[in-house]
Amino acid sequence: MGALVWVMMGLAIWHFTIFIPDRFWSGIVGAFLGALLGAVIFGLAVNGFTVPGQNDTDLINALEAIPGAIAGMAVVYFIGLRDAAAGQSMPVRACAMRWRAR
């Protein structure tokens, strides 16, 4: 039950990425994966790599996932910035426009 709470909190935090410029590695999907994986990994680390059961889950478990979701999205964002600065990646919209121009 704790893992479900962590995933739902990561999903809730991910919704705020619409206010950030789209520089995530793999776009919004990369931000989604970063938020979910960050929330779950951080939640596991805080709980000693065990998943709390139904009777052990409360509001504090949801709050534990927030720093992990933000950290996971930050990692994906900085990877995207690094790739963009090196010219290795192309935003999805620009790639689609180039494909349509053919």
pLDDT digits (tens, 9 = 90+) for 15-49: 999 998 888 988 899 999 999 999 999 999 999 99
d(CA 99, CA 9): 36
- Over the chain, what is the mean pLDDT? 88
| Rounded mean pLDDT, 1-28 | 93
- In this prediction the pTM is 0.81
In which region does residue 86 sit, left (phi positive, over 0), alpha (psi from -120 to 50) or beta (all else)? alpha
Determine the pLDDT at residue 22.
85
Nearest to 10 by CA among 89, 70, 92, 99: 70
